[in-house]
Amino acid sequence: MSTYKKRYAEGDNGLRFQDLAYIGNFKELEPVRDGIIGDRTMRARAKSKVLERVSREDVLKDQFSLDELNDLNNYLAWNIWDVLVMRATEGVSGMIPRQEYEILAFMNEFYRWPEILRMTTNEVGAEGVMKIGATARREIGIKVNAVHDWCIGAVGFGMGRCGLLALEAIKPHDFVEESNEILKFMQRVLWGKRQDGYILNSQDRYRCAIHDQDVIDSLASQVEYFEPGSEKHEKFTRFNASAELLAFLDHFDNRLGLGDTGPYELPDGKILIIRDLFTNEEVYHWSDACDAAGVPHCYSLLLVIDPEAMALDEIRVNDISTTFTRPKNYIEHIVGGAVFVRETWNTPMSEVYQVKIDDLEKRSEGIQQATLSLYGKLARMSRRQLITNGMYTYYIDMILPHLRIAGTYEKACVDYDFWEIDQRVANYYYEINKRGFAQAVVPQKIFSGEGYLPFPDGTDLRRSKYFWG
């Protein structure tokens, strides 16, 4: 018998998905746990109301107060720990130097994104930024999703600033104005997408049910049902696994290629998860391997799970677009599915089409061909090329979908040299391997939360980095 709905009751603390606890900037207080009770604890420690439901007028304000900035800093630090510690092995790759490209990308984002996000806000207005987020409510197969939206603040601000503080390249009172620019853009996109006053899934007991009901009804009507363990179940789950592998590989082994939303409860009590697998990102030059194999931009899968058969106790769609359940394995309890195709990133929603499960074999052949070709390409790249390309997957891709919808991507490239790397970050390339900085110092600072230093009391909100030394 499932008990997962109890997690949505007021006062329920949720289950513990990990044994570790978080301290961060609260060294004199009790450590914080993961999940629902962790969210509640972090919000109770906030000095402002920025972590409660906020209004459209709040979101349209030009900047945060110092207390709001520090509350967001502290909450994102815990939230990053909450979603990443459970996936502690994700940063390890036998082929791609992920830790190296990640920290360089984080720092480049912190230096370079503020003026690009400010330009985009100036072009479309604050309301326009909120509409970018709202786009996700009526579309599938687009990258305006939880992980990309979360990355704007959690990665570009949180981990970027944390890395630069750890490197002693900046001080806690530096870049306040730029931090505000990044976090305001994040808040507006996420608020426009959710439209319930929250900005993060963790604030809503890990729900990301953002699609409008008529969209869900239309998609769900096309689900093909099957018995667990049947041939159709095998075809569907095998396709999910192979498309997911390619989506990861095309994004240099990171999660920008995958986006889950849900859970959506269907009329018969089953649970629906919508999973976008971005199998061909045209902005990457190495994606020509996907072009050659005829692989589309995105496969969107509908996964119908039977919560009673798996005795589901909790389900989380966390802020990096990943579904976790207790018990852990939900694949064997998938009882229905559907596959949709978006050929290119700008294919209209009206032209997204379905492929029947029995017709997936040829699609799988293309995915396998592209995967093998990509492995061959990566194997021939030098370490420097792998790190540089990995940096682009983070630095470019995390805000690419927002710039595309705003119509500012070309302007960012031409007027702001979007694809250039900041000279300071280029020089850091030679520093990050000293004293285990990329492999040990940065992960320790990020995962423990101790590296997310607050802005000091009295710091001027307009303060930038005007002194070099």
Is residue 436's pLDDT more than 90? no
Specify the pLDDT at position 193: 98
Across 147-159, average pLDDT: 97
pLDDT tens, residue by residue, 185-241: 999 999 999 999 999 999 999 999 999 999 999 999 999 999 999 999 999 999 999
What is the average pLDDT across 35-58? 98
pLDDT digits (tens, 9 = 90+) for 328-384: 999 999 999 999 999 999 999 999 999 999 999 999 999 999 999 999 999 999 999
Per-residue pLDDT band for 466 (boundaries 50, 70, 90) equals low
- Taking the C-alpha atoms of residue 67 and residue 376, their distance in angstroms, rounded to an integer, is 50
In which band, very low, low, confident or very high, does the pLDDT at 10 lie, cut at 50, 70 and 90? Answer: very high
- 3-state SS assignment for residue 277: strand
Rounded Cα distance, 282 and 298, in Å:
11
Q: What is the pLDDT of residue 290?
A: 98
Kindly report the backbone phi and psi dihedral angles of residue 297, in degrees, each rounded to the nearest multiple of 5, phi listed first.
-60, -45
- Look at residue 418 and tell me whether its pLDDT is greater than 60: yes
Q: What is the pLDDT of residue 468?
A: 62
pLDDT (tens digit per residue) in 370-392: 999 999 999 999 999 999 999 99
pLDDT at position 445 is 82
What is the predicted pLDDT for the residue at 440? 80
Q: pTM (2 decimals)?
A: 0.96
107: amino acid identity, one letter: M
pLDDT of residue 38 exceeding 80, the answer is: yes
Which structure tokens are listed for 438? 């990329």
Residue reference for tokens 């990096």:
320
**Torsion region of 175: left, alpha or beta (phi above 0 gives left; psi -120 to 50 gives alpha):** left
Indicate whether 90 pLDDT > 90: no
**Spatial distance between the Cα atoms of 158 and 88, rounded to a whole number of angstroms:** 18
pLDDT at residue 394 above 80?
yes
203 vs 465 pLDDT, higher one: 203
- H/E segment holding residue 119: helix 98-134
Span 411-422, mean pLDDT? Answer: 98
On the CB side of 168, CA atoms within 13 Å amount to 3
- Domain borders along the chain are 22-205+383-446, 213-379
Q: For 131-135, what is the mean pLDDT?
A: 98
pLDDT at 274: 98
Please tell me the predicted confidence (pLDDT) of residue 137: 98
Distance separating alpha carbons of residues 309 and 313, to the nearest angstrom: 11
pLDDT band at 91 (very low <50, low <70, confident <90, very high): low
How much is the mean pLDDT over the chain?
A: 95
Residue pLDDT, tens place only, 280-314:
999 999 999 999 999 999 999 999 999 999 999 99
The SS3 call for residue 276 is: strand
- List % helix, strand, coil for the chain (3-state, nearest 5): 50, 10, 40
Provide the pLDDT confidence category of residue 432 given band limits of 50, 70 and 90: confident
Query: 467 pLDDT band (50/70/90 cuts)?
Result: low
Q: Kindly state the average pLDDT of the residues 392-405.
A: 98
